[in-house]
Structures are given as structure tokens and as C-alpha cells.
Amino acid sequence: MTNQTVAGLKGVSAGQTAICTVGSEGNSLHYRGYSIEDMVGQACFEEVAYLLIYGELPNQSKLAAYQQKLKSLRDLPEALKIVLKLIPRTAHPMDVLKVGCAFLGTLESETHPTQQQCDIADRLMALFPSIVMYWYQWHHLGREIDTHTEADGVAAHFLELLLQRKPEAMVSEAVDQSLILYAEHEFNASTFAARVTTATLSDFYSAITSAIGTLRGPLHGGANEAAMELIEAYQTPAEAKAGLLDRLARKEKIMGFGHAVYKIRDPRSDIIQGWAKKLAALRGDKVIYPVAEMIDKMMRDEKHMFPNLDFYSAAAYHFCDIPTELFTPIFVFARIAGWSAHVIEQRQNNKIIRPGAEYIGPEPRPFVAIANR
């Protein structure tokens, strides 16, 4: 292979993986050989998480045992509760997750990686909703909550902590299925960050903290928050049409459209759009979903760009009564499964990840002593 500089490493193969593929044309998605379309509607998130982390689909008894294990891991250590209370109310929830993950690593440190890694993955999956919601409820609603619930799934657990009641069945199912869609996506920016950290032989918590920090950016996980802000800017489809034309004329970047890998469509988008439409009907919505459809239409007509998973997931989460600032943390609740699988895989045949760079600075020159500058 010849040395070639590619901006953003787009299209450059950076390694091998048996976890996920987006397909040769970039318009399909498979987790360990199973298509996303086949899993959604037939599996729950915990089945998919088990597949990613442990390498196989669980049978009914293994799934029940796995859900019970996750249920037993939801309680926060007292020291972590103290730290969460000290994080300012103004902090972004993604920063709360970064701090929570890193601090947990000091309380429950990884001393035997090959023996502990799957248990740490499960602990983080169980605990991330508890971390965010304990902080959120304390600072935003002034109450200290018990983070243990009897909900079978991560989605229902999160919603119960948020709403302080059992969620409606359709709402719980919609969030659960969205977690499957967000669970894994090959060498995306946050996953690659986790693998780079892992490749230095750093610990599991450090790798996941790196990934969370990377996902926080609006060009990655934060796009769903930006998409919701865009949708809420308009009250009618006509307003949305005029507003989009104006934004495009000013060459604004419209979040939630296009993809670094997919060329024709995002196979996850049609699925989450279906959920957004059903939830809109459940809520009797006459504004949010029609506006989202118009934005979608305008982007297709004017820019020939398709919505990615983030665009309609924003509307779907809105209809589930989830505050916009919590959209990206939900991404983390899902992607911890994929990140964990990649940390484990990187360790199996590890080589430090250290690419080269094309130097474009000054030619060699003599150093000038400070007295002569």
C-alpha cells in the first residue's frame, strides 16, 4: 500500500474487525453477520448487547440470566453519588458520564483485564443510565432517587428513572429498539478513539472515557441534539421550508443529514422514522413530525442528502418525553455495547495504533537565541 494522505482518514482501512460491517456499498449494517433489519422487531437491546460483547446470540435462559445480572448492577457506589452531587447543574450530561466512568475506574479498578473486561462492560451498561439520572434528578428536580428498578431492560430502566413511573409500552419499546440501532457502527470516531486508547494497554475505563469524550461532539453523537433544535425552530411545514432555504442560502450545516460511510441511505433511518411516526400519532402531534418531514424533503430536494439515524431519533425521543440534553447520553447507553466489543477485540491481537503524518511546516532552519529575536 502506498503512503497517501487522506483528510479524516475517510475510506482508509485502519484494521480488521469481526464485530460489524456497514457493507461494501455502505448501505447495509450487520452485527456479527446479522442484519439490523432482521434484529429490530425480533430482538431486545440486551440480546444484541450480549451478541456484541460475548460473540453469540443468547438463548432464552441466557438472556434472562443476563438481564438479571444487569439488573443487579444498577446501584451507584456511595462515593460516586457524592461526586455526582458536586458536578454543577450547568454541566453537559455527557461530561457527567465522562466523570462518572473515570471515577468508577478508581473505585472498581481493572486489575486483571482478561478476567474482568466483560464484567466491567456489563457494569457500565447497567450503571450509565443510573449515573446520568441520579445527577439529573438531583440538580434539575431537587430530589435524590433510588437508581435500582425492576425493569428488565436498559431502556425501561432509564425511562423509569427519568419519568419516575413505569413508561408506556410503546415508548419503552421505541427506546429499546433505538438502542439496537445505536449499539455499534464499526470504526466510527468514538470507537476508534476507544481502540487507540486500548492499544496503548490502558485500562477499560480509560478507553470508554475516551470514547465518551469523542462522542460528545456535534459532528458525532451530538448531532441528534442539534437536529431537535432545528426541528423545534419551526411551527409549520411552510415555516420549515422557508427556513431551510434561508439556512442553505447562508451555507449553514444542517445536522442529521448525510453520512461519512453511507452513500444512498442510512438503513437505520427508515426504522427510527417509523417509530417517530407511530409516537407522533400516540401523542396527537401536528407540528414536530410534519416539520421533520418537510426538513427531510427539502434536504433531499435541494441537497440530495438523506437523513441519518440522528435526525428522526431526535423526534422519536422528543415524543418519549426525553429532554433534548439527554439525547446523546442515550447514544452512550447503546454504544457501550459496541465500544466494549471493540476494546475486547483490540486486546486479542494488539498493536499500538500510531499513524504517520504528512509534514507541511517550515523547512529546517537555524534556531535563533532569544536575545537575537
Annotated active-site positions, please?
220, 259, 310
Question: For residue 16, what is its C-alpha cell?
Answer: 480488521
Cα–chain-centroid distance for residue 310? 10
At residue 34, the 3 state secondary structure works out as strand
Q: How far apart are CA 290 and CA 235, in angstroms?
A: 9
Q: Which three cell numbers stand for residue 275?
A: 417509530
Name the strand (E) or helix (H) holding 30: strand 30-31
Neighbouring C-beta atoms of residue 324, cutoff 10 Å: 16
Q: In sequence order, which residues have a C-beta less than 8 Å from that of residue 359 and are 6 or more positions away?
A: none
Alpha helices in 203-265 (DSSP H): 204-215, 223-231, 237-249
List CB contacts of 294: < 8 A, sequence separation 6 or more.
234, 237, 240, 241, 244
Angle of helix 223-231 relative to helix 327-348, nearest 10 degrees?
160
DSSP result, 327-339: HHHHHHHHHHHHH
User: Do 186 and 294 touch, CB atoms closer than 8 A?
Assistant: no
Cell numbers standing for residue 349: 491481537
Q: What is the DSSP letter of 3?
A: -
CA dihedral 110, 111, 116, 117 (to 10 degrees): 50
